[in-house]
Chains A and B, each alone.
Chain A
Amino acid sequence: MSRGASAGVSRPDHLTEPRWVRGLLLALALGFLALFLLAPLAAVFIEAFKKGWELYLAAIVEPDAWSAIKLTLWVAAVSLPLNLVFGVAAAWAIAKFQFRGKQFLITLIDLPFSVSPVVAGLVFVLLFGSQGWLGPWLQAHDLKVVYAVPGVVLATLFVTFPFIARELIPLMQAQGSEEEQAALTLGASGWQIFWRVTLPNIKWGLVYGAILCNARAMGEFGAVSVVSGHVRGLTNTMTLHVEILYNEYQFAAAFAVASLLALLALVTLLIKNLVEWRSARPGVQTQAEPAATPAALGRPAAA
């Protein structure tokens, strides 16, 4: 992340603070991060292993936990490709063409970021619940959306909706469309242009958006909690399973499952930094990198 060249160079005295001020600021900042960031992370793993390895493993291989893990993976596997296709389509339309209301469209795409996850879950209950508009029709056809897996998928799709689009739009806008236009004059078809010219240019942005989307899809709690109905072994995702275990005072088991999610978060951060490092390397789309980072982070992202 430290992109600034100035970060590594030591500054002359008149361009920096007195030594004791630097020490004080550093201590305050590190203290704040230790207290509010590192302590909770450490607590997850310490609480998870408090009762030993055996209980930890038992909590994870237990059938309900196992089905929660499978459902979480399944939900992420469905939502990721759908939002990926949308993200690429939206970014293509917005970055490569001029039309009225573009800014308004971008704002609408951002909307799910600023809607409370609980509200996101609620709208699907209002639409598909037994009291909802489509409720009677669904009941007549013996279909279940809310308090079933489709509802969980819909809620996850909603909250992870903007991730990939938000990542690709500024990236593709910064890249412009000269290369695509050159390919067009050379006689390439639309799909050829996309696969051979555009996709190689945006691949790191795509990976970046996808891992953030995936982390949110697997970790979503509020929206999923409203629509899932908490049916053990059926509609429980990992975060909901953690909640149930916690409310049943099975703290060690709750933290064991939670530690898997924390591990996922750490792996996500690792890949994210690798991608940033990769795309910041000279020669590998240098201009893409500054656009890529703030877009993903400057929004109310994961929950």
Chain B
Amino acid sequence: MNTAPATAIGTARSARRRRNRPGVLPGFGLSMGYAVLYLSLLVLIPLAALPIKSAGLGWDGFWQAVTAPRVMASYRLTFGAALLAALVNLVFGMLVAWVLVRYRFPGKKILDALVDLPFALPTAVAGIALTALYAKNGWLGGPLEHWLGLKVAFTPLGIVVALIFIGIPFVVRTVQPVLEDIEREIEEAAASLGASRWQTIRRVLLPTVLPALLTGFALAFARAVGEYGSVVFIAGNRPMVSEITPLLIISKLEQFDYAGAAAIATVMLLLSFVLLLLINLLQGWQARRGGRLA
């Protein structure tokens, strides 16, 4: 920390020096050129196909394609289920992060490693496993239907279950490092000033992890909105009831309605941009918050 001012002065000075030249090391042109070329060919030009293709519909056609009743129903389902799943992950992700950082129990290391399973497990595998679990004759689906009269597989509830699975790591992994970095002295200070444990948690710890918590929530939500593999198996995929937006894009494609598929995909792409922007803002907030604490 002592070197921080010196480094800051150094960076400011070198930034001034580098205004004309990007840096002293070789290879800027080659690496930058290659990266931008590859990015353009693989990502930017292909993505540009979406608005261009859907522009063929004209504004009225575009509007009709993206606001048809079946499409609107799929938005409601996709966003509703993603929001619900992200909320569940907000609460339980915070809880899991808390337990993993603060408490000791056998098997903690293995469980900690397994939290990343939804990142590593192919979504199709997760999809069929969850369907087998929650179907009428499954381990969980059977008891749930028998005792609570609750049908999970092949209903919108099944979609929420799949999205919860997919979103587990996001909140845990964003909150966990922040919790680990909280210094014990802060809690000591709160306790010595007469705060109860609950007051310390609510007034000191929660505000500190809030940016990370919201970032994790936004990431889980963004991921859930675009999710396809784990959902199609458990959803039942009935139009107007349990058909998610990505699936609707595929069915448009299968009917050779390319422009219609591109129009809906454009809407989803715009939403991805908005969420990406929001997540960047949240992470900036988190970085500033972290900086102030340290």
Contact = CB atoms under 8 A, between A and B. Distances in A.
A218 B99 CA distance: 32
Contact of A254 (B27, B103, B128): B128
Main secondary structure of the interface of B (DSSP, over half): helix
A187 to B, nearest CB: 12
A92 B95 CA distance: 38
A261 B121 CA distance: 7
Contacts of B247: 118
Interface residues of A, number: 118
Nearest to A157: B42
A221 B44 contact: no
B238 interface: no
Nearest to A259: B125
B100 to A, nearest CB: 7
A205 interface: no
A112 B102 contact: no
Interface in A1-53: 1-4, 6-8, 10-11, 14-18, 22, 25-26, 28-30, 32-33, 35-41, 43-44, 47
B226 A118 contact: yes
A32 B96 contact: yes
Interface of B: 14-15, 18, 22-28, 30-32, 34-36, 38-39, 42-47, 49-50, 53, 92, 95-96, 98-105, 108-109, 111-126, 128-130, 132-133, 138-140, 161, 164-165, 168-170, 173-174, 176-177, 179-181, 184, 187-188, 191, 197, 215, 219, 222-223, 225-229, 233, 246-247, 249-250, 253, 256, 258, 261-262, 265, 268-269, 272-273, 275-276, 279-280, 283
28 contacts: A2-B109, A6-B101, A18-B197, A29-B99, A30-B105, A36-B165, A37-B115, A86-B34, A98-B18, A99-B32, A114-B222, A115-B272, A125-B253, A127-B49, A131-B258, A132-B49, A158-B42, A158-B43, A222-B229, A238-B122, A261-B124, A269-B116, A297-B173, A298-B170, A298-B215, A300-B219, A302-B122, A302-B123
